[in-house]
Amino acid sequence: MQLTTLLAETLKSGKITISQNDKPAVEVTVSEKKIDADVVDKDFVKEIVATSRKANTKKGIGESLRRGVDSLREARKAQPTIKEMVEDLCREGVTITLSYKGDRVVTVGAEANSKLTRLVTGTKGVEINSPLKLAEMGI
């Protein structure tokens, strides 16, 4: 059992609000085998994504392209691990959702089912519910 499913099995219900500068940024709600992270402040998520990508806007277009190619390579390397985690969530009946202001954006785990992402990820356990909201969040 993966850490993600162990966490979902251990937590029965509750709600946590993650804030930045006394401003709510993400509300995490846990209920029986479901975890929903509802993004309230998209700038918080953009900041996390930018930090993880080590983005530097002062670089030229060549550097941006190189970072994009490097990101794709890293994503390919991580794909087997992600696929294993997603399949574990499905087996255990656990669902994790990412929402933006109450609208579901991405579903991972038991309740996900997308033919399009199945072609890309190799598993039915990832569903992009709202590509527009996902782009709006900057992910």
Mind listing the pLDDT tens digit for each residue in 16-64?
Answer: 999 988 999 999 999 988 999 999 988 888 887 777 666 445 556 666 6
Domain count, the chain: 1
Q: Within 10 A of 101 (CB to CB), how many other CB atoms are there?
A: 13
Query: What is the Cα–Cα distance from 88 to 98, expressed in whole angstroms?
Result: 18
Query: Which residues 6+ apart lie within 8 Å of 86 measured at CB?
Result: 108, 109, 112, 121, 123, 125, 126
* Host domain of residue 124: 3-137
- Report how far Cα 135 is from the mean position of its chain's Cα atoms: 13
Examine the pLDDT at 78 and tell me if it is beyond 70.
no
Backbone angles phi, psi at 127, to 5 degrees: -135, 125
Q: Is the pTM of this model over 0.75?
A: no
CA dihedral sign of residues 53, 19, 82, 120: negative
Average the pLDDT over each of 4-13, 47-56, 82-91 and give the range with the smallest value: 47-56
pLDDT band at 95 (very low <50, low <70, confident <90, very high): very high
pLDDT band at 80 (very low <50, low <70, confident <90, very high): confident
Query: What is the Cα–Cα distance from 26 to 48, expressed in whole angstroms?
Result: 12
Q: Identify whether the C-beta of residue 70 lies closer than 8 Å to the C-beta of residue 63.
A: no
